[in-house]
Structure formats: structure tokens, C-alpha cells
Amino acid sequence: MKYEFDTIEEFKEAMKNLSNYHDCDKCRGKIVCITNDGFGNSKCGYCNQIVKYPKLKKEVFEEWLKNET
């Protein structure tokens, strides 16, 4: 499964299917809740399990941010 994306379009598509990255009994059927701990880990907001969610490459995010502001 791919975790780091080169384009906004690929990233948005991955975000539409977050259950492919994590699906537990506590979060199933609910609004997605992603938390971050002090070490930079992404976690399910319901079960507190560390999950590797999709993300943009840093350079792509910086370029997108520059163009959006």
C-alpha cells in the first residue's frame, strides 16, 4: 500500500479510502479522527493505535501551500 504521494490528486483519492489504512471496531462507521502524539506518530482517535496514514511528500506539500496562499 502506498503511504507517501507525489500529487494532490493521488493524496485526495487515498484520503477518500482511509479504511484501507485503518479500520477498527471503535472507529467503524464514525467520522475519522486522527490524532498525533508528542513523537510525531499518527494515531486513530478512537483506539489510540499508531497508524501510518497517507501523506504528501514534503516538497509537494510546500509547493501546494505556496500556491494556495
Give pLDDT, residue 68: 82
Beta carbons within 10 angstroms of residue 22's beta carbon: 19
Size (the chain), residues: 69
Of 39, 69, 36, nearest to 55 by C-alpha is: 36
Residue range 11-31, pLDDT digits in tens:
999 999 999 999 999 999 999
Q: Which three cell numbers, joined as nine digits, stand for 11?
A: 493524496
Residue range 47-58, pLDDT digits in tens:
999 999 999 999
pTM above 0.85, yes or no: no
